[in-house]
Amino acid sequence: MLVAYAREIRKSGGIDLHIIGVGGRGHVAFHESGIPFKGSDVMLVKLDDNTVANAVADGHFPSEKNSPRYAVTMGAELVYQAKTVVLLACGERKVGL
């Protein structure tokens, strides 16, 4: 399914505008450290405990029990093929990034 998603993006001519968020440790679009740049189109990633805790602290979920443990994300290679990329850093703990 994830491979098909990336294929459909390419088939339709790519992404015109990609809006991505920055994480508290500087990663973008759930592209955590250790994920290779090349060949990482669309993937399912396991969220680490810090990311889950921050999702609760930022008010996205009422508790860690309610927070997802996995996220579907695009790898950096596919993200940066977009014609325009907008990077957003929202929240008090991201002020110093």
Q: Is residue 97 pLDDT above 60, yes or no?
A: no
- What are the tens digits of pLDDT across the range 24-61? 666 776 666 667 777 777 888 888 898 899 889 888 99
CA dist list (Å): 18 to 28, 31, 52, 87: 12, 14, 23, 9
pTM, entire model: 0.66
- Region 64-80: mean pLDDT is 87
Coil, helix or strand at residue 18: strand
What whole-number distance in Å separates Cα of residue 11 and Cα of residue 87?
A: 25
Residues above pLDDT 70, as percent of the chain: 82
What whole-number distance in Å separates Cα of residue 60 and Cα of residue 34?
A: 25
